[in-house]
A and B are shown apart, each in its own frame.
Chain A
Amino acid sequence: QKEVEQDPGPLSVPEGAIVSLNCTYSNSAFQYFMWYRQYSRKGPELLMYTYSSGNKEDGRFTAQVDKSSKYISLFIRDSQPSDSATYLCAMDSSYKLIFGSGTRLLVRP
């Protein structure tokens, strides 16, 4: 079983929709949770970085962590075609990050 599970999608939504992206994990020791965005033929880019449980908001993006359920979410409000990318969740594990396999998002104009 993978330590981090993420639905690969693709997830297709119309412009302006609220998008919900999710990951589940099995290791209760994880403390730091990240979301990265990766455009085609580019490296991942850090979007959100949260510590322990709770919510964090940055513009149209909200990251949510529920440690009791081992579940994290990224919400995108007023989605734009430029948000079309693959979104990777990541979690800390002593000396490295463990990544989900990514959810591909397509925002249709």
Chain B
Amino acid sequence: EADIYQTPRYLVIGTGKKITLECSQTMGHDKMYWYQQDPGMELHLIHYSYGVNSTEKGDLSSESTVSRIRTEHFPLTLESARPSHTSQYLCASSRAGDYGYTFGSGTRLTVV
């Protein structure tokens, strides 16, 4: 039973559109993360947060932005989608000091 929820699961959208990928967790975890995963490739961290009003960029250059207004909610926004943004986006959370992440099921984004 998932304690971290991502919506939508699948999204096909046109170039130039603004999109928001939703992520919510019910575990009260302080830390939340967004990873990007392409087939056969390692996960790449694009954003992370240590708590409310804390957001940082990860290692992978990204044109997305995130916000953390509530502990349980960590949405990712693409202001202008491009075909290069086509990928799977995974949200995760963890307690402070814990490396055991809990992942959502992911959003598979296709930009046409």
Interface residues of A (CB under 8 A from B): 2, 4, 8, 32, 34, 36, 41-46, 49, 88, 90, 92, 95-102
The interface residues of chain A lying within 8 Å CB-to-CB of B100 are 34, 46, 49
In whole angstroms, what is the CA distance A21 to B45 when docked?
A: 24
Q: Which 8 A-B pairs have the closest CB atoms?
A: A43-B103, A99-B43, A101-B42, A99-B42, A32-B99, A96-B45, A46-B100, A44-B103
The interface residues of chain A lying within 8 Å CB-to-CB of B106 are 41-43
Within the complex, the shortest CB–CB distance from A88 to chain B, in Å, comes to: 7
28 A/B residue pairs, CB under 8 Å, sorted by A: A2-B42, A4-B42, A8-B40, A32-B99, A42-B105, A43-B90, A43-B92, A43-B105, A43-B106, A44-B101, A44-B103, A45-B103, A46-B100, A46-B101, A49-B99, A49-B100, A88-B43, A92-B99, A96-B48, A96-B58, A96-B59, A97-B99, A97-B101, A99-B35, A100-B42, A101-B41, A101-B42, A102-B42
The interface residues of chain B lying within 8 Å CB-to-CB of A101 are 40-42
Contact B33 A96 (CB under 8 A): yes
Size category of the B interface is 20 to 34
Within the complex, the shortest CB–CB distance from B27 to chain A, in Å, comes to: 13
Within the complex, the shortest CB–CB distance from A107 to chain B, in Å, comes to: 20
Within the complex, the shortest CB–CB distance from A43 to chain B, in Å, comes to: 3
Within the complex, the shortest CB–CB distance from B103 to chain A, in Å, comes to: 3
The interface residues of chain B lying within 8 Å CB-to-CB of A90 are 99
In whole angstroms, what is the CA distance A45 to B90 when docked?
A: 12
Given contacts A34-B100, A42-B106, A44-B90, contact A95 B48 (CB under 8 A): yes
In this assembly, does B102 line the interface, its C-beta being within 8 Å of a C-beta of chain A? yes
